[in-house]
Structure 1
């Protein structure tokens, strides 16, 4: 059973979730030790093509997938045959297999690879080394790895850490710094940043600039700012929104900021597999308001085919403020 992301994870003061945080802190110590041991014993295999890791320091909700898609777009626009590689979380296929949006479903390969495959070649493989070798054999000149900052299987030419830069409403991207399950961190902040080559701070379009205090966290690391912008306006008329991502409240906030007449919003756990009953309940709720249904592109690809015509997909894309500088960075190892 999947659970919604605890909102208190992202509060800097310990007044929120105090008892649970204390109870779960010893498990966080075990998680930290296991991550350190795994990284120390990594193989770091070189497969003959540069590997660019798009990762993060928290357990979800930073915006890795839009950044991976934009990284692929920029590389391919300059003539580099860049392919995506993912473990295919939520999919049943072990791989290596190249994702085909015409024949694969999210249940086969996972929602994120299926979404990426609409714009660039994408592979899924539980064994990252085998997947990387398959992609290189198929002509990949560079590999963009989704969610690999804590995975030591492949030698990485660049390790880029994506950070959610939204700090309003007393939220902080790293909470109070506690490691999962006591907080959102996959590893202590300074430990994770020490392996990074650069930081990408992702902002919504309605936030003017990065919090200076947040910028101080990154020390001397290069920082690139990207904005998560919708590809188009939301549909007219009232809508009932829903999302199964790590921070569903951000989708609700973004829809309202884009001018959506949001009658209601339903949060679900990350990577939620929507049942027929849940979708019918959403449709019934929308009928109460005379509204349509709207969700993220990532959620939309997980819907059963018969429901996709009934739900509006609202895609967003990451766009870099210093696109030329970011392109120089990702082209440097190619």
Structure 2
């Protein structure tokens, strides 16, 4: 699904489509509130469960946040396991993802990417996924998404938002990008993490500061230094992520000459037919094919060496708020 443009109009001057769909958004938000209200019956794991979730629907930076947290905790000697739902069409689970054995079609692209950093489980039933991680020796579990899922008790909830997009027009799906009203989500959040450059962070704080009632961490996605010289390289970039334009901006910032940008639907299969079309278009332009890490794991085997990847990592401006919360829950 591609993000409708009217989701990100001025909250004080909603687009006519947003106004027309507002009643459906109220129903959606009410449904989320009813579901979350059952959290008192949630399964309580024997180890801390950190939820990396969002209020917006997709494209906020949950996966790089989960990876960054896993790396930081592993560096402290903790046995970290990740639990993800996978995506529609992936294995039901619980299944421990093996990056050398499993493909993205079976387990999902994000779990396959995260499995390179920590043991990662996929499970449609989040309780079973958490129990599998517990049985396998996890000392702390990172739950990728699931902020609105009440089946598992969260020891700590980190809400991730893109600083550029913010909370959009502040309306619920389908009138806007939200899974629930901002005020409702922020009441359950332990940390808000906004991801974006300094100017976007400043604008986010101006617009949304009144809604923030928990510690607020800021960060940015930085390209991983791989030794590749992108300066002046002619490229055709494609991305099937929540906000493809973020990736295209990164490619430009690296100094590449972006001749064409192909925005795909989030998790869109990279079929042989699609890749051959892109390869023909790139050849006609004299351009190199470039994509994201998440898309790269979905590439057909025959294209893996013909497409360059731009890996990114989350860099926090200040880890102190996150570290303090993690230390507290790990201390029991």
Query: Does 2:114 match 1:121?
Result: no
Alignment-derived partner of residue 34 in structure 2:
37
Unaligned runs of 5+ in 1: 167-171
Task: Compute the displacement of 1:207 (Å).
Answer: 4.5
* SS at structure 1 position matched to 2:213: coil
Q: 1:216 maps to what in 2?
A: 209
Partners in 2 of 1:30 and 1:8 — Cα distance?
19
C-alpha distance in structure 2 between counterparts of 1:17 and 1:234, whole Å = 42
| TM-score normalised over the length of structure 2 | 0.93
The answer to whether residue 10 in structure 2 is matched with residue 27 in structure 1 is no
| Alpha-carbon offset, residue 68 of structure 1 | 0.6
**TM-score normalised to structure 1 length:** 0.92
Offset from partner CA, 1:66-99 (integer Å, 9 cap, x none) = 0011011111110111110001114521111111
Structure 2 counterparts to residues 151-166 of structure 1, below 5 A: 151-166=149-164
- After superposition, residues 112-261 of structure 1 pair within 5 angstroms as 112-166=110-164, 172-204=165-197, 207=199, 209-211=201-203, 212-214=205-207, 216-232=209-225, 235=230, 237-261=233-257
Structure 2 residue aligned with 1:51, among 34, 44, 49? 49
Judged with a 3 Å threshold, the aligned counterparts in structure 2 of structure 1 residues 118 and 326 are, in CA distance, closer, same or farther, namely: same
- Give the direction of change, closer, same or farther, for the CA distance of 1:201–1:13 in structure 2 (3 Å limit): closer
Residue 194 of structure 1 deviates from its aligned partner by 0.5
Report how many aligned residue pairs link the two structures: 325
Could you tell me how far 1:146 is from its partner in structure 2? 0.7
Contact 1:97 1:124 (C-alpha < 8 Å) held by counterparts:
yes
Q: CA RMSD in A?
A: 1.8
**Residue deviations 1:23-49 (CA, integer Å, cap 9, x gap):** 322221221121111111233211201
Partner of 1:312: 308
Change (3 A) 1:313 1:111: same
Equivalent of 1:105 in 98, 103, 108: 103
Alpha carbons 1:45, 1:154 under 8 Å: kept = yes
CA–CA distance in structure 1, aligned partners of residues 145 and 299 of structure 2? 23
Describe the superposition over 1:186-229 as per-residue Cα deviations: whole angstroms up to 9, x where unpaired: 1001000000011011114x747532314514433101111110
Q: Secondary structure at the match of 1:241?
A: strand
Alpha-carbon distance between aligned partners in 2 of 1:67 and 1:155, rounded to the nearest angstrom: 20
Change (3 A) 1:96 1:65: same
